[in-house]
Amino acid sequence: MARVAGDAAAGAVLAPGPTATDAHGTDARAPERAALIALLQLAYSGELAAAYAYRGHARSVRDPLVRRQIEQVEREEGHHRELVGDMLAALGAGPDPARERRAGIIGRVLGALCHVSGWLLPMAGAGRLESRNVREYETAAHLARACGRTEWVDCLLTMAEVEWEHERAFRTHVRAHWLGRHLPLWPAPPPKAAIRSAFTQAR
């Protein structure tokens, strides 16, 4: 699994960002900033739910290699949560308490269900979740650029690329199961290289 090489990007997270004001002295980027905060709060809590779910998922599989892969995914999701938390703090915001409570409950329930449902359905659910995460971090990168936090763009796109790797791994495991080959799966994301090329073209 890929690892976020985000130390330099993480170091830039806490740096104060520029403020653009209009003729009335108000922050012209306030809508983008509010949208970025909301999306980062969603991602922050989503990583919590995923970590709990993957912890239970790893304990439910018998194949040691697959277990180690899922444990690596859990560690990477935790690293993403740390980076996103730093971004929220730099924006003068924090996690949404209600969303955090819901995420904790959902993650623990999903982790427990892995022990009774077998690994196929949790694996398929994880792949669908990771596919959504790719889009969330891509969108966050666009919003970061729009509100002047360009120093976060590389970090957010890197997290999207890591989530893309997670999605591919889970899709591969599902397709390797005899029943999984007959399941209707979530739409496959574009190639990994498209994450950065699409962002560049959107300038």
Q: The domain 28-201: what is its CATH number? A: 1.20.1260.10
Work out the pLDDT band at 124, boundaries 50, 70, 90.
confident
Check whether 7 has a pLDDT greater than 70: no
Cβ neighbourhood burial of 158 (10 Å; 0-12, 13-18, 19+): buried
Alpha helices in the chain (DSSP H): 7-13, 30-60, 64-90, 97-117, 120-146, 153-176, 194-201
Write the CB contacts of 108 (distance below 8 Å, at least 6 apart in sequence): 52, 56
In the predicted model, what is the mean pLDDT of the chain? 85
- pTM metric for this prediction: 0.82
CB neighbours of residue 141 within 10 Å: 26
pLDDT at 193: 97
Which range, 36-40, 51-55, 173-177, 198-202, has the best average confidence (pLDDT)?
A: 36-40
Rounded-to-integer distance, Cα 86 and Cα 165, Å: 23
Alpha helices in 91-152 (DSSP H): 97-117, 120-146
Residues 164-189 pLDDT 10s: 999 998 898 888 888 888 888 889 89
pLDDT at 28: 58
Residues 72-90 pLDDT 10s: 999 999 999 999 999 999 9
Query: Cα 57 vs. chain centroid, distance in angstroms?
Result: 18
pLDDT at 116: 80
Check whether 17 has a pLDDT greater than 60: no
Domain limits, the chain: 28-201
- Look-up: residue for tokens 């819901």? 102
pLDDT at 97: 95
Per DSSP, 26 falls in state: S
